[in-house]
Amino acid sequence: MNLRRLVSMIAAVSVVGFGAAGPAAASVDPRQAAMDVAVAAGNPGMLAVASDWRGTSGVGDVRTGAKPNPSGRFRIGSVSKTFVATLVLQQVAAGRIGLDEPIGKYLPGLLPYPEPITVRQLLQHRSGLPRDLAPQYTWTSVEELDTERFVHFDETEAIHDSTIQPLLFPPGTSFSYSNTGYNVLARLVEKVTGKRFERLLAEDITGPSHLWDTSLPRDFPLLLNPAAHGYEQAYPAPHGLTDVTAYNLSRYFGAGDMISSAPDLNRFFHALLGGRLLPPNLLAQMKATIPAVGPDGKYQGYDYGLGLMRIPLNAICGQDVAAWGHGGDIPGYNTWSMNTEDGARQITTMANQDLTPPIQAIGRRTLVFINEFCTPMIPQASEALVAPM
């Protein structure tokens, strides 16, 4: 999964991308206007569901021209990490896991490194584990986005093969976003509970919170009741977009294999940030963020807690405001599920092309959640606020 990073240039965009709303624009909801700008820039379609509003733009099916369905399901990519982190912290609360215990205590022999790596370091991407899976488990060409859609990848083999690579740094000394680390954490909760991940998810999160659209499909490739078809430009023009709605994402078992809907994600974060899924001390530790610094030493535009992102929007909004939640990138679907710190105000957005749209389309889809948390502004143009890692 090629998660995209917020770049530090977000701080320089405050005078670019927002213009004074004219009389005609004043009647348009700023979130809707932002989606329309993002679709005009090259995203096939988008949807957004906020606390007080929902909307769509563009198409959910390029063959029929049907609109996206704001209540439908989609693949949430790395937003899965917040669910995994919540399950881990629930087991910490139950006394089955120690946050500062080495992972080898629970999964002996899984990782080959002599250096002890703690559960907390895995949750906060400070483990030093390789950023992504081994090359045979990822996409080395855009064509593979199509040709590898139905390939099964064993979760444990993927961890073993990916950790043949050396550690990027001594554990705890730096930050590097690691999908492999979250595959390890999903195996951890299975080991300490003796339950399959999907059963634990249903018993401890989706059932109590009434998240009926949320699941971990493992190898099941079909997406039932899709919010929109997912697309990628897997082959050069004049070939059209390739439909990648059906996909086996078992390679990203804990890092990004989950399915949900925008209303479900809003309910999940409302419950989590509202204190209904974790005790106060563990929620506070989940929200204790550090700056996300890239391999080049530069700030990537967000802070990271234990499976939770904090995106400061001060430079754009001109006010002290931040968005809490997570973003997700997976073939066919880009997701942002963002909230105020207490979860009282929230918005989830989905665009149905993730890895291959024009760069301006990648940046402009973030304007939707920015317009939720800033004083409403109608976007007229935008520099890209995110860039590929």
CA-CA distance, 234 to 302, in Å (whole number)? 30
> How many angstroms separate the CA atoms of 81 and 187, rounded?
13
What separation in angstroms does the CA of 254 have from each of 66, 162, 313, 359, 366?
32, 14, 29, 28, 25
Backbone angles phi and psi of 127, in degrees to 5: -80, -25
The CA-based angle 41-315-5, given to 5 degrees, is 55
Report which of 292, 1, 387 is spatially closest to residue 162, judged by C-alpha positions.
1
Sign for the CA dihedral angle at 364, 366, 372, 374 comes to: negative
Q: Is 78 an active-site residue?
A: yes
**Which position among 27, 51, 57, 78 bears the catalytic label?**
78
CA dist 158 and 178 (Å) reads: 13
The alpha carbon dihedral of 301, 279, 76, 164 has a sign of positive
Q: How far apart are CA 138 and CA 141, in angstroms?
A: 9
- Helix or strand holding residue 273 (H, E): helix 262-273
Report the catalytic residues: 78
